Amino acid sequence: MDALELKAKLYRKKAKARATIETLSITKDGYNKHSNYNYISEANYKTICKAILKENGLELKSSIVSVERFTGLGKLSLGVGVVEEYELIDIDTGYGEKSQSAGDGVDNGDKSIYKAMTGSFKYFMANNFQITTGDDAEKVDNTYEPKQPLPTQEDVPPNYNYKVEAEKKNLIKLVTEGAKIFKCTPSMLKKYHVKSIEQMTLDQLKEAKATLDEKG
């Protein structure tokens, strides 16, 4: 069996796994009190993913490619951004496909890196298997567009910069939370002539974060 046939077999298994996911009712069983939103817990997410992988003869390996620390906002002052490499393996043939996924996390203790790794894992699975919950609960308010996960390596152009995109994603999160705390979202959107914080440029996000830091 040549490489093309091995790849085709792996992709058929991925397609079958996606079809399996479409039959599931996935609900958000966790609640973040700090930012007031619901989410799929890590335990629930991994339980679902383990079942899907096992049922379709797939194995998943991961390793950390890079770790970057940054300063958060307010009480969540410790931030970590990670890039992980994942290898999805067909256990029948041993053929594997590698891709990368980024994630970040902020905390006031030592959980930042674990939050970042969980985010990376969720983004990888969401991009590869289209795991969705059928609602927009992550939206801060009706003016915001739904958040999109960072793409994996197979979906991105050659000039995609994970470091820059991870920084931008982190700033979007911090500015969104800060603007909500200080109730200045409408004025901020008006200042930068955008419909949502996600549409702001990296420079605008940096400037907005600096302004929020001055407020408290």
At 23, which CATH number?
3.30.390
Phi, psi of 28 (to 5 degrees): -85, 110
Rounded (to 5) percent helix, strand, coil in the chain: 45, 25, 30
pLDDT, average across residues 11-29: 81
Range 39-48 average pLDDT: 78
The CA distance from 193 to 216, in Å, is 24
User: Which tens digits make up the pLDDT trace of 102-132?
Assistant: 998 888 877 888 888 988 988 888 888 877 6
**What domain range is 27 assigned to?**
3-157
Higher pLDDT, 21 or 192: 192
The count of domains in the chain is 1
Share of the chain above pLDDT 70, in %: 81
Residue 117 lies in a domain: yes
The predicted-structure confidence for 167-187, as pLDDT tens digits, reads as follows 788 888 888 988 888 889 999
2-11, 23-32, 162-171: range with highest mean pLDDT? 2-11
